């Protein structure tokens, strides 16, 4: 993909729903988009909404656990902003967690982060500009029962992001990690009270703030929380 447009190009993973969908639609006003997720039909619906907001959109139906497929599809793309949003969570006690559930979280939350970033970062370095934004979690600095794997992967995100930032900042590349608290998405079981939680659009606003900061300024870590679990959003 060659960017002949004056608009910067943002690649968003996990863009078919939830936080990724909100990020895509938030950036559509200012960026052309490459949207990545597993389900082509869901991606197509998000793409239509983004095109209506003025973006040129390319969709890629990919399972990012497949490093070979990710490299083949993403290497060579001229991407100005990479938003590593794709993630999964299986929240249950360690002794109840299957090997498949463990490996799926590591593959999506950790290994896919490598596959995607490794594919597009060389182009950013070559051009001397770019921004890598990763959606982390407050679970990246705390723990909870049932989070042995999930919190482990989010702790990884924090270490990865800071190390990468130190490696590439002199090449003109910014690295940000957005760490939300509870967000009302499909992560939570049916019946969970989500009325007090952040909305996906709040995280999209945080991403937009980080990636549109002045070139000399880096928003490296940005934590976003619901104000209070005792007050629904509608009370404000």
How would residue 5 be classed by pLDDT, with cut points 50, 70 and 90? Answer: low
Tokens of 176: 């940000």
Given a contact cutoff of 8 angstroms between Cβ atoms, the answer to whether 66 and 38 are in contact is no
The CATH number of 9-235 is: 3.40.50.720
Q: What distance in Å separates the CA atoms of residue 236 and residue 27, rounded to the nearest whole number? A: 26
SS3 at position 133: strand
- pLDDT tens digit sequence for 64-113: 999 999 999 999 999 999 999 999 999 999 999 999 999 999 999 999 99
Note the pLDDT of residue 137.
Answer: 97
Q: What distance in Å separates the CA atoms of residue 156 and residue 146, rounded to the nearest whole number? A: 17
Q: Mean per-residue pLDDT for 143-148?
A: 95
Given a contact cutoff of 8 angstroms between Cβ atoms, the answer to whether 161 and 118 are in contact is no
- pLDDT tens digit sequence for 16-33: 999 999 999 999 999 999
Confidence (pTM): 0.95
Q: What distance in Å separates the CA atoms of residue 145 and residue 153, rounded to the nearest whole number? A: 15
Note the pLDDT of residue 221.
Answer: 97
Note the pLDDT of residue 2.
Answer: 42
Would you kindly state where each structural domain of the chain is located, as residue ranges?
9-235
CA dihedral 227, 222, 90, 85 (to 10 degrees): 130
Q: What distance in Å separates the CA atoms of residue 33 and residue 78, rounded to the nearest whole number? A: 11
Given a contact cutoff of 8 angstroms between Cβ atoms, the answer to whether 203 and 159 are in contact is no
CA max distance for the chain: 53
Tokens of 35: 């949207």
Which DSSP category does 183 fall into?
A: B
Active site residues: 150
**Residue 141, burial from CB neighbour count under 10 angstroms (0-12, 13-18, 19+):** middle
Tokens of 23: 């990020």
Q: Scan for tokens 């939350």, then name that residue.
A: 109
């Amino acid at each position: 993909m060659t960017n002949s447009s004056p608009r910067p190009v943002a690649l968003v993973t996990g863009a078919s729903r939830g936080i990724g969908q909100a990020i895509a639609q938030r950036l559509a006003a200012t960026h052309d988009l490459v949207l990545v997720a597993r389900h082509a039909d869901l991606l197509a619906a998000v793409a239509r909404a983004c095109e209506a907001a003025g973006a040129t959109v390319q969709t890629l139906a990919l399972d990012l656990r497949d490093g070979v497929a990710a490299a083949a599809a993403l290497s060579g793309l001229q991407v100005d902003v990479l938003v590593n949003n794709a993630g999964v969570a299986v929240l249950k006690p360690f002794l109840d967690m299957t090997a498949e559930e463990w490996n799926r979280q590591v593959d999506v939350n950790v290994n896919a982060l490598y596959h995607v970033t490794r594919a597009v970062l060389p182009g950013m370095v070559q051009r001397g500009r770019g921004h890598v934004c990763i959606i982390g979690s407050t679970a990246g600095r705390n723990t909870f029962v049932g989070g042995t794997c999930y919190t482990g992967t989010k702790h990884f995100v924090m270490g990865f992001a800071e190390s990468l930032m130190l490696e590439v900042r002199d090449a003109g590349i910014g690295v940000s990690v957005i760490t939300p608290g509870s967000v009302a998405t499909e992560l939570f079981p049916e019946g969970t009270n989500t009325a007090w939680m952040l909305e996906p659009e709040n995280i999209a606003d945080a991403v937009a703030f980080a990636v549109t900061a002045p070139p000399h300024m880096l928003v490296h870590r940005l934590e976003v929380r619901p104000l209070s679990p005792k007050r629904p959003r509608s009370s404000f």
